[in-house]
A and B are shown apart, each in its own frame.
Chain A
Amino acid sequence: MEDSVPDKRINIKGLVCPYTFVKAKLAVESMEVGQVLEVLLDYEEASRSIPKSMEDHGQTVLKIDKINDTDWVLRIRKEKD
């Protein structure tokens, strides 16, 4: 699952909280239950806060990867509307 192709990708590099989460949340809302969102970001705090908020909202965080010095990739599976 984690290595499969995500259903949607968003690039939120350059954005800071809370807009990082707002963008990610709007993306999840536009998807179907069971689909996977991939988020590329460069704001460190959001690499922690987005996964936490997504779990609070009932979604599943599949992975949190730091892919280089500045960027993170998250994968989130939508569990509920």
Chain B
Amino acid sequence: MEFTDDQMLRYSRHIILPEVGGKGQARIAGAKVCIIGAGGLGCPVGYYLTAAGVGTIALIDNDTVELSNLQRQIAHSVHTIGMPKVESASLTFKALNPEVNIIGIQERLTKDNILDLIRDYDIVVDGSDNFPTRYLVNDACFMAKKPLVSGAILRFEGQVTTIVSGDGPCYRCLFEEPPPPGLVPSCQEAGVLGVLPGVIGGLQATEVLKLILGKGDVLKGELLIYNALKTTFRKVRVPKNPHCPLCGEAPTITELIDYNEGYCSL
């Protein structure tokens, strides 16, 4: 890849790194990443991947911006309240780096559209805020053989793991089925510290860049748990479950499932 003078300046701190260099920056520019959710996690993930020069970034979200989002969803603003989140975030990311191709998809993910929507992308990032979507994304990424960087946040605690289809555990090896509706409170009910998604989203963006570069160790087979109140990071090893209903030896889940009943919508 030949860099223009502007690209050389913009990405100089990457190019200087031995693990990145011009070749790594060219890989970043050639990468296509799909981010599920343009909320607390999707905003910082998309923001940093845009800054890093990821060539194509898709954002999937069906919501519009509300004032109550602005405590943590840093790509939106008072000027974009009422606007679709994917449009609001696209404007912000374009202003940061006009070279990046941002594709906003204002749709609700279902078992019928997810495989089409993620097909063209190298890596999927889950920044959704509900269990039906989390399991749908896990199952679809396993079936489509897409690496998935999964993140979740609640109150003062967040988790990150990287799932590489066919190599190590999937999300269902960790938690086989979604919890029953109402058992686990949502951010809406339980609250979330506004900066927590910044930490977890930053970790997710880092995992994405390492997957693109093929450098370092990703959180494969490991769940990283961050506690913001205690300022602790805990890494928990997650073994592959041979009886996993999705990726185990005798899978019972062979098609996508919409677990919508009883859950509040995204």
Contact = CB atoms under 8 A, between A and B. Distances in A.
A34 to B, nearest CB: 18
A13 interface: no
B3 A26 contact: yes
B8 A26 contact: yes
A26 B22 contact: yes
A76 to B, nearest CB: 15
B91 interface: no
Contacts of A30: 22
B18 to A, nearest CB: 5
A53 B22 CA distance: 15
Given A29-B21, A57-B18, A19 B12 contact: yes
Interface residues of A, number: 12
Nearest to B9: A19
A56 B21 CA distance: 14
Interface residues of B, number: 11
A44 B56 CA distance: 40
A19 B13 CA distance: 10
Contacts of A22: 8, 12, 15-16
Q: For chain B, what secondary structure do more than half of its interface residues adopt (helix, strand, loop), or is it mixed?
A: helix
B235 interface: no
Interface in B72-116: none
Which of A19, A21, A53 has most chain B Cβ within 10 Å?
A19
A18 interface: yes
B238 to A, nearest CB: 34
Nearest to B13: A18
Contacts of A57: 18
A25 B8 contact: no
Given A26-B3, A26-B8, A21 B21 contact: no
B23 interface: yes
A22 B8 CA distance: 7
A29 B23 contact: yes
A9 interface: no
Nearest to A29: B22
Interface of B: 3, 8-9, 12-13, 15-16, 18, 21-23
